[in-house]
Amino acid sequence: MPAAAAPSPPPGCPAHAGGAGSGTIGLRSLFGPEADADPMALYEKLRAEHGPVAPVLLPGDVQAWLVLGHRENLEVARTPSLFSRDSRHWHAMREGRIGPDHPLAPLTMWQPLCVFVDGTEHRRLRQALTDSLSRFESRGIRRYVIRFTHQLIDGFQDAGQADLVKQFADQLPLRVITQLFGMEEEYGPKLVEAAKDMIQGTETAVESNNFITETLQRLVERKRAFPGHDVGSKLIEHPARLTDDEVREHLRLTLVAANEPTVNLISNTLRMLLTDRRFRATLAGGHTTLPDALEQVLWDEPPQTTTIGRWATGDTQLAGQQIKAGDMLVLGLAAGNVDPAVRPNLSVPLHGNRSHLAFNAGPHECPGRDLGRAIADTGIDTLLSRLPDLRLAIPEADLRRDNALMSRRLVSLPTTFTPPRRVGRRSTGEPGSSARQPLPLPEAEPLPEAPSRETGVVPQRVSTPRLDRDSRWAAMKHRLRIRR
């Protein structure tokens, strides 16, 4: 709650706006060797040293507050009047210390985008985006996912081995998204690399951001001249009357929000399936559904570890820390998901509980969450149907991750499997020429709404309907032969 007269903050606190120098001494960095080695261990050190909110350094020795507590993350996310998404509140931005060439600029420079505004303007822009995405109903999106999944599997199935990060998870989301955008598939690989680079705060982040912006600007110009059934055209047609800049920036938001997190969600789920005996046993045995299993992954290994940023609109207090007007706050999504206050025993499965922080919360909750779930759910389902005896090809200890400012990315996932016996040449991406046929998919239903999280406490289980004995998971109970 706002403090009437906040005391002067201690030395080294992010409330001192002096930038790099004496004020940064003793602060732990969210980048560099310690963060790269084990970010989760770093979060726990910060929690032990400072409690639910800790002072940290970002690239360029930018000072910020990292929110580690589950309840505190919800408080910040749900109170835009105190913690705004408008980066123009940031003292570092106002004082000119974050220029266009700063590595954090692509993530923090104000743009005509729903994630950088609050109130009425946020509702106008956010409604245009959600309405345009909703024009593509779940069943149609899943058809795209199934088609592209079969095409990807066709490319490696005869080898009996595949890296499911590079050859599958990395490729699938962008193929679906470029289809929804009405773009040629050739744009996919370069956009993937640029989107990854941009969110990592690297020295080339600005260049990557410029490439994405220029590519999408050309797309908007083409769609305004030749509209079609795609997200860009729907944004242009929306009653909110978005400008070309607003259309372009919301396409960029969708690209970033739906691609890299979905890649990580697919990779993390497949890794857990191949390495966690209990996880795959409950899934293969029909004790849980794949959508419920995805929610467990979103708790334990959220696709994004942090989200930058929120900015204090005035002097306030959070978990005992004095926050000054213009301070930046970083939401610690991964740290909040393992907060002992809500998960005292991390080994207890959560069975479809959706009160995790993986997609953020409040009015700025990730707009691509349902699209990401649909891509991951359907893609993994189709993959396991085609290749039910997937096995990890290397020891689990040899799997590596790239740890970046906002995410932990599995580098590779080498697997082996029995190549399906071919009975004829397939001319399309659809199934039909291998002896092992994919399991039939049920009719796609609208994704259930997330439960209310007003209390900030992990609620009771949110159940998804169990599929009957003729469903894909009942069939997989008899067919899935993943090595135990």
Mean pLDDT of 75-100: 94
pTM above 0.95, yes or no: no
d(CA 304, CA 300) in angstroms, rounded, equals 11
Q: What is the pLDDT of residue 248?
A: 92
For residue 58, what are the β-bridge partners? 62
For residue range 205-250, what is the model confidence (pLDDT) as tens digits?
Answer: 788 888 888 889 999 999 999 999 999 999 999 999 999 999 998 9
Out of 152-156, 187-191, 363-367, least confident range: 187-191
For residue range 107-126, what is the model confidence (pLDDT) as tens digits?
Answer: 898 988 898 999 999 999 99
For residue range 309-326, what is the model confidence (pLDDT) as tens digits?
Answer: 899 999 999 999 999 999
Closest to 415 in 3D by CA, of 149, 163, 210: 163
**Domains in the chain and their CATH numbers?**
27-479 (1.10.630.10)
3 pLDDT exceeds 80?
no
Confidence class for position 23, pLDDT limits 50, 70, 90: low
Taking CA atoms, 478 is separated from 125, 157, 352, 387, 471, in Å, by 48, 22, 23, 14, 12
Confidence class for position 135, pLDDT limits 50, 70, 90: confident
For residue range 316-357, what is the model confidence (pLDDT) as tens digits?
Answer: 999 999 999 999 999 999 999 999 999 999 988 887 789 999
Using a 10 angstrom Cβ sphere, with 0-12 exposed, 13-18 middle and 19 or more buried, the burial of residue 379 is buried
Confidence class for position 286, pLDDT limits 50, 70, 90: confident
Confidence class for position 370, pLDDT limits 50, 70, 90: confident
For residue range 268-285, what is the model confidence (pLDDT) as tens digits?
Answer: 999 999 998 888 887 777
Mean pLDDT of 14-19: 37
For residue 55, what are the β-bridge partners? 65
467 pLDDT exceeds 50?
no
Say if CB 357 and CB 336 are below 8 A apart: yes
165 pLDDT exceeds 80?
yes
Give the residue ranges of DSSP H helices in 226-323: 231-237, 244-275, 277-284, 290-300
150 pLDDT exceeds 70?
yes
Mean pLDDT of 250-279: 89
d(CA 221, CA 233) in angstroms, rounded, equals 10
Q: What is the pLDDT of residue 6?
A: 36
DSSP 98-148: S-TTSTTHHHHS--SSGGG--HHHHHHHHHHHHHHHHTS-HHHHHHHHHHH
Give the angle subtended at the CA of 362 by the CAs of 358 and 368, to the nearest 5°: 50
Most confident option among 71-75, 135-139, 172-176, 429-433: 71-75
Q: Mean pLDDT score of the chain, rounded to an integer?
A: 81
Q: What percent of the chain has pLDDT over 90?
A: 53
Confidence class for position 24, pLDDT limits 50, 70, 90: low
d(CA 125, CA 118) in angstroms, rounded, equals 10
Q: What is the pLDDT of residue 26?
A: 78
444 pLDDT exceeds 90?
no
Q: What is the pLDDT of residue 255?
A: 83
d(CA 298, CA 275) in angstroms, rounded, equals 17
d(CA 161, CA 274) in angstroms, rounded, equals 14
For 134, residues 6+ apart whose C-beta sits below 8 A from its C-beta are none
